[in-house]
């Protein structure tokens, strides 16, 4: 096929132990998916359905990258998350079959313009400026699912300049991976190449130029990146 301009490059993520990469179609993200603060306030963690937002596929940044401090913010925050890499699509997926759609897992960080998010919340506006910006989805190498073994528990953590900022267990998630996929597939037809960021535990905070972020999920390849000047 001929195009009037050069087609954009295909965003892709490294696969652990392989030369071939995982092509990225779309990035879905889940908001407020760890129960610590919700239960602390005496509320039912599942009193409301999960909240979803998206990022562009070309927001991905691989392990070891230097990410320029984002424009249009003075309050850039980190949010470590388990990421699902889908190898099979579908709509109206039953929770019991949802994990069959997961090709692999990775650790990722949902970088957030917290000041823009606060403005959006106050004004009832979409979160695009807060979440869907350039280089906002650093992600480590994807570990393929081995012999049907899926992640439902294990340590998730993040450090900034060697200081632990976030630490929790995947079992603390309000909505499990299978429930997230099922909910997503009611609003979108999921496709191979979709990534799903599954939410972050407590402890999010700001980053500045010169900061080094290291993070991981038990059993997966770690992720490391630095924040550079604009």
User: How would you class 74 by CB atoms within 10 Å of its CB: exposed for 0-12, middle for 13-18, buried for 19 or more?
Assistant: exposed
pLDDT of residue 41: 41
How many domains is the chain partitioned into structurally?
A: 1
pLDDT of residue 46: 73
84 falls within a domain: yes
202 falls within a domain: yes
86 falls within a domain: yes
Q: Write out pLDDT tens, residues 133-192.
A: 999 999 999 999 987 789 999 999 999 999 999 999 999 999 999 999 999 999 999 999
104 falls within a domain: no
79 falls within a domain: yes
217 falls within a domain: yes
Q: Calculate mean pLDDT across residues 94-122.
A: 96
Q: Shortest CA distance to 13 belongs to which of 77, 72, 117, 85? A: 85
Q: Write out pLDDT tens, residues 115-147.
A: 999 999 899 999 999 999 999 999 999 999 987
3 falls within a domain: no
101 falls within a domain: no
pLDDT of residue 210: 98
Q: Write out pLDDT tens, residues 203-220.
A: 999 999 999 999 999 999
CA angle 23, 63, 137 (to 5 degrees): 60
pTM assigned to the model? 0.95
CATH of the domain at 196: 3.90.850.10
Domain hosting 58: range is 12-91+113-228
Residue 42 pLDDT > 80: no
Q: Write out pLDDT tens, residues 57-88.
A: 999 999 999 999 999 999 999 999 999 999 99
Residue 43 pLDDT > 80: no
Q: In angstroms, rounded to a whole number, what is the distance separating the alpha carbons of residues 30 and 13?
A: 20
């Amino acid at each position: 096929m001929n195009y009037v301009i050069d087609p954009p490059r295909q965003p892709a993520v490294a696969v652990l132990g392989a030369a071939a990469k995982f092509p990225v179609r779309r990035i879905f993200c889940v908001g407020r998916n760890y129960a610590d603060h919700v239960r602390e306030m005496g509320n039912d963690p599942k009193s409301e359905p999960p909240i979803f937002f998206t990022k562009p596929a070309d927001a991905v940044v691989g392990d070891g990258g230097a990410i320029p401090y984002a424009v249009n913010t003075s309050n850039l925050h980190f949010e470590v998350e388990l990421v699902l890499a889908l190898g099979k699509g579908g709509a109206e997926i039953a929770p019991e079959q949802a994990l069959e759609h997961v090709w692999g897992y990775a650790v990722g960080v949902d970088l957030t313009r917290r000041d823009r998010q606060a403005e959006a919340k106050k004004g009832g506006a979409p979160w695009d400026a807060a979440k869907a910006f350039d280089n906002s989805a650093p992600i480590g190498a994807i570990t393929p699912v081995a012999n049907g073994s899926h992640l439902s528990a294990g340590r998730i953590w993040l450090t900034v300049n060697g200081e632990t900022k976030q630490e929790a267990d995947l079992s603390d998630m309000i909505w499990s991976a299978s429930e997230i996929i099922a909910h997503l597939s009611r609003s979108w037809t999921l496709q191979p190449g979709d990534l799903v960021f599954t939410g972050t535990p407590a402890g999010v905070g700001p980053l500045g130029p010169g900061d080094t972020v290291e993070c991981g999920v038990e059993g997966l390849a770690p992720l490391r990146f630095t924040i550079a000047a604009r």
